[in-house]
Structure 1
Amino acid sequence: MNGLPNELLIQIASHLDGAPPSIRKFTHEPSADLTYSVDAPLKDLSRVSWKWRKIVLPILFRYSRVELDNDPQWVPIDANLIEAMQCQLSKLSDHEFQIYQKMRSKFKSNSTFRLGQAFDDPLINLCRLQQGDNFLKFVPNILWIPHLSFAEFGRFVARHNLKHHIKSLVVFTQKEYELRHVAAADALLGRQIFSVWSQIFSGLEPTRLVVAAPPASLAALLDTQMLSADAWAFDMKLHYIELQYEPSQLDHMRTSDCRPWNLALIHRRPWTYLGYNEGSSITAFSVYEYHLKQSPKMLYLILVRLAKEVQDCCNIRSFSFHGVFPFGTNVTIIVRALQKLKTLRKIQVQLAPGPENSLLSSPKRIGRAQPRDLWLEWNESYKVITGYLGLMEFEDGSEFISKDCNETGLAGEVDEHMQALQKRGSGWRKEGNHRWVRDSTLDQNAPSLTELSNNGMRQFSWWRKYLDSYN
């Protein structure tokens, strides 16, 4: 084997290069195992010898992952903490003593101000822990802000010339960002998010980027909001967002003003595909008046922002949404945002648990949720989606894919919804088990609006009003 030329060894190694777990598992219910795989043949091969290590390295890191720092590093400095530091001056580090001196003059000395609650104090400053800060490291309220220590990985990439070999990157964290009640955190958060994306895109050129994070952290990383006070009811541990672009679009990016090439992730590259997985909404079905609850709205805000800030030549062409029994109202809001995007040519959805998910057979997961309610929301969501497919002017060849058709019993249900769409006058040709293609030549076989029955007219009008109500 050692006598073979490197070209043949590279060819041999390439046969072990399968689809990474971040692709295979993206449609699964979000978990910390997104990038984990039981089988790792390329890693095993890289341990055989230094020669194989050198051969495998560019392939091995084609799909990479970086994790945001997990340790909380920021301390809110308020009047109460300064008073506590005053009792320990001899034990403070140089950095802690500088903080004490700088902040002491900013706080009033009256007892009302000193005893006020820390997070209500308008003069809160956030200070980062440094090595040797033994007093501050034991403060109860040490806080977390998204931060990436990229230097070591960046040096590794540069040393082995891997920059252009890394095609996909997963940015991962399980930490929840909880600083929205501290006004002083806003500017700091902006700087930290700018640093995260600047480090990544200055050291790498991934054409695919996945961010996996709790909803609040993902909102921070996407420079947007959650627009929901009910996130607790849904108990969504992680959301995924996936972005892709064609390398040929980079030249267009550098020479055009078709989008604001600013700090936000969605404007860092000319993304042509956006995929989103919000996980399961089933926990909320056990909450009193569940239908009034609102799931996090980051996807809606991102889509609206793309529609407002990006011209058609540089906007997304393909979109996918994955969730487990999302509320019909949530799907309607997403559809309202999609209506503003005129560039979509491919849409994929999955709204029921996949074959890997045993949710429906787990009484603990279902809780007090009624199965009938779950399927009512699923059915309502497909009504909204097919209503959208019928109202929008998709060009011929546009695709709609339902991953739910892979499940026994659901293919017929989805097919009924698409057949109802055909009856309303929109031609979508079925190809295979789960794919429909827009075909305007089929429109002429459907009855015109004037030929529809009064009931059919009322139904058509209802879809439009239903969608318009979420403008």
Structure 2
Amino acid sequence: MDLIPSEILLHIFGYIDGPAPSDSGLHDQPRIESLTMRPGWLEPPLKAASLVSRSWRCLVLSRLFTRILWKPDVFTLTGFTFDPIPLLRFLVDNRLERGVVTFTMIVDFFDPANMDYQFASQIRTTDLEWLWDQLFSVIDPLRFTILARPTTLATLLSRRSYFDDGWPFNTPYHILSLARVTRQAMAKDSSGHIQRPTGSQIQLENSEDSASMGSGPITPTAPAPSSASRRPATYLPLRLGIASRCPLLTIRPWTSLLLNEGSSAKVYYECLPFLCRLPSILSILLGCERYPSTAPLIPQTVVDFNYIAIFPRPSHFEILLQYLPRINRLFVQLAPKPENGILENTNEMEHINPAEMWKELNTSYNFLMRKLTTVPNPRANWSFLRVFESGDAVGAGAWGAVIQILENSSIREWKVERQGVLVRHLGSDELSDGSSEVNDDVGNFSNASYLMTA
């Protein structure tokens, strides 16, 4: 095998390098396994190839580290024991830092101070800023994902959490994923306002990524720029002019945000489900939490919002509808995928009436369709929405009900582009500032609609 030219070996390695679980599992039930391994695979084939010989390792190392999964040893939130220096030193020593496309961070620990989702201590804004400065001074990813408990996510956003009544939901992990389509900085117009990406700009150009992977053995590259040069010149302003700063959300001009809250099925057999509040950072992101988390955190650059919550209570889903950020595209998934197996899991569905869950899901969609089919306030954020996509496995009948609501509405702006996708056409103008394409590129979290009978 050592006699085979490197170009041929790299071509072969390209075929065995499939999508990483940390990319394809973002819409699944938040679990460590969903982001770390593929079903039926004991070891990723590209990683196995890197163990064959030293020459093979040199060939695949740059491709192997385009997608990094980091699981730091964290023992307490108050101590902030994150230590990215060994990982970053390895990347720099092997000239791999410029090829990192996606970075996934898994924070898995149990802190007795967070028993029953209680976290009383105040988190200062600068407590974790050093961590993001260290990471992003070396790497410049197109996607940054965190899998952690809701309390941990709130801490990483430098915000206080209020999850003391979230015990019935039993959802240990949520997913927060930030992405952008290019490493270029956001342009500004003559008046100084940020130019929002258009539909054609939401297509990722793979030329930069393929160039960063390399086509042969590792060769020396220029040192990584400093933190000051890699970070945008100024922190981007938030939507309503409120000076609320979250370093992670503003350290790069992210254009897409995904929040996966997992399943809320278990709350349906508790005695007081309607009085319990889902542990979630949704209200923190949207700026409708208790003081001091009353300012929205989603930056101006985000135009694509993806929300996954399996069978949430309509009262919780309505938070997103009432405080929708100014976005061009909204993706919503409220039902499990067919391969998820929640509805077939006897332990998960014990003492639960599935009809009640589907009824609540339909109520949530009724709330959503009411927003889409009501004449929006020109100054409200719903008037800026251009694309709505549903990723739910709710059956053709449910989608038919959506179509019927649109047909009976006096609002004729929304048109069906394909199954599960609605596009807003304003007169003769084309879709100018939203993503009209659904693909699997970095920066677009959408997946195809799944059909099943409820």
Q: TM-score, normalised by structure 1?
A: 0.70
Larger helix fraction of residues: 1
Partner of 2:308: 322
Other-structure match for 1:425: 410
The letter of the residue matching 2:26 is F
Structure 1 pair 411/396, CA: closer, same or farther in 2 (3 Å)?
farther
Cα deviation digits, residues 406-454 of structure 1 (max 9, x gap): x3x52321331243134223332222222221123599xxxxxxxxxxx
**Hey, what's the Cα distance between the residues in 1 that align with 2:141 and 2:372?**
32
Separation (CA, whole Å) in 1 of partners of 2:7 and 2:402: 52
Question: Which residue is equivalent to 1:173?
Answer: 107
How far apart in 1 are the matches of 2:161 and 2:399? Answer: 30
Asked if 2 retains the 8 angstrom alpha-carbon contact of 1:171 and 1:211, the reply is yes
- The correspondence for 1:47, drawn from 41, 44, 51, is 51
Partner of 1:298: 281
Q: Is the 8 A contact 2:119 2:151 kept in 1?
A: no
What's 1:458 paired with? none
Write the letter of the residue equivalent to 1:46. Answer: S
SS of equivalent to 1:347? strand
**Identity among equivalent pairs (%):** 26
Closer/same/farther in 2, CA of residues 243 and 286 from structure 1, 3 Å limit = same
Residue in structure 1 matched with residue 215 of structure 2 by the alignment: none
Alignment match of 1:412 (pick from 397, 417, 429): 397
- 1:272-297 per-residue CA deviation (whole Å, 9 max, x = no partner) reads 10001001111111111312221124
On the 8 A contact 1:322/1:350 being kept in 2, the answer is: yes
Q: Who is 1:19 aligned against?
A: 19
Q: 1:217 to 1:176 in 2, by over 3 A?
A: farther
Between the aligned partners of 2:170 and 2:321, the Cα distance in structure 1 is 23
The match for 1:76 is: none
- Listed as ranges, the matches of 1:306-345 within 5 Å are 314-338=300-324, 341-342=325-326, 344-345=327-328
Aligned to 2:30: 30
Aligned partner letter, 2:185: Q
Residue matched to 2:452:
none
Which stretch of structure 1 is more off in the superposition, 29-38 or 8-17? Answer: 8-17
Q: 1:148 to 1:329 in 2, by over 3 A?
A: same
Residues 357-412 of structure 1, C-alpha deviation per residue, up to 9 Å, x if partnerless?
Answer: 221122321233322220111001111222222344667993211111xx3x5232
Distance 1:364 1:182 in 2: 29
The equivalent of 2:167 in structure 1 is 232
Question: Aligned partners of 2:85 and 2:233: how far apart in 1?
Answer: 30
One-letter code of the match for 2:159? T
Size of the alignment, in residue pairs? 364
Distance in 1 separating the partners of 2:403 and 2:384? 16
C-alpha RMSD of the superposition: 3.1
The equivalent of 1:286 in structure 2 is 269
Whether the 8 Å contact between 1:239 and 1:276 is mirrored in structure 2 is yes
> Of residues 332, 354, 357 in structure 2, which corresponds to 1:374?
357
Distance change (3 Å), C-alpha of 1:50 and 1:327:
same
CA distance in 2, matches of 1:307, 1:46: 49
**1:346, CA displacement in angstroms?**
1.4
For the structure 1 residues 347 and 144, does the alpha-carbon distance in structure 2 shift closer, same or farther, using more than 3 Å as the test? same
Equivalent residue, structure 2, for 1:384: 367
For 2:140, the equivalent position in structure 1 comes to 205
Aligned counterpart, 2:207: none
* Structure 1 residues 202 and 177: CA distance shift in structure 2, 3 A: farther
Q: Which residue of 2 aligns with 1:247?
A: 183
**What letter is aligned with 1:315?**
T
Offset at residue 229 of structure 1 (A): 2.6
Of 53, 57, 64 in structure 2, the residue corresponding to residue 60 of structure 1 is 64
Contact 1:177 1:216 in 2 (8 A): no
1:258 aligns to 2:236 (yes or no): yes
When normalised by structure 2's length, the TM-score is 0.72
The one-letter code matched in structure 2 to 1:279 is G
Given that 1:228 and 1:295 are in contact with CA atoms closer than 8 Å, whether structure 2 keeps it comes out as yes
Instruction: Measure how far apart 1:234 and its partner are.
Output: 0.8
**Deviations 1:88-142, CA, capped at 9 Å, x for gaps:** xxxxxxxxxxxxxxxxxxxxxxxxxxxxxxxxxxxxxxxxxxxxxxxxxxxxxxx
Is the Cα–Cα contact under 8 Å of residues 390 and 421 in structure 1 kept in the other structure? yes
One-letter amino acid of the structure 2 residue matched with residue 168 of structure 1? T
> Per the alignment, in what secondary structure is the counterpart of residue 363 of structure 1?
coil
Q: Which moved more, 1:361-370 or 1:39-48?
A: 361-370
SS at match of 1:56: helix
Residue pairs, 1:67-78, within 5 angstroms: 67-72=71-76
Query: Residue type matched to 2:37 in 1?
Result: Y
Tell me how far 1:203 sits from its aligned partner.
Answer: 2.3
Indicate the SS of the match to 1:331.
Answer: helix
Q: Kindly indicate whether the alpha-carbon contact (under 8 Å) linking 2:387 and 2:422 is maintained by their aligned counterparts in 1.
A: yes
Residue 91 of structure 2, aligned match among 157, 163, 179: 157
Distance 1:160 1:193 in 2: 27
- Judged with a 3 Å threshold, the aligned counterparts in structure 2 of structure 1 residues 442 and 414 are, in CA distance, closer, same or farther, namely farther
Which one is further off, 285-294 or 54-63? 285-294
1:275 correspondence with 2:275? no
Question: Which of 383, 388, 394 is 1:400 aligned to?
Answer: 388
Q: Which has the larger radius of gyration?
A: 1
Q: 1:310 to 1:321 in 2, by over 3 A?
A: closer
Counterpart of 2:232, as a letter, is: R
Q: 1:316 to 1:13 in 2, by over 3 A?
A: same
Q: Is residue 235–residue 250 contact of structure 2 (8 Å, CA) maintained in 1?
A: no
Unaligned runs of 5+ in 1: 73-142, 444-471
**Greater RCO, CA 8 A, separation 6+:** 2
CA offset at residue 264 of structure 1?
Answer: 2.7
Deviation at 1:208, TM superposition (A): 0.3
Query: Residues of 1 paired with 2:386 and 2:271: CA distance?
Result: 41
Instruction: Tell me how far apart the structure 1 counterparts of residues 267 and 79 of structure 2 sit (CA, whole Å).
Output: 28
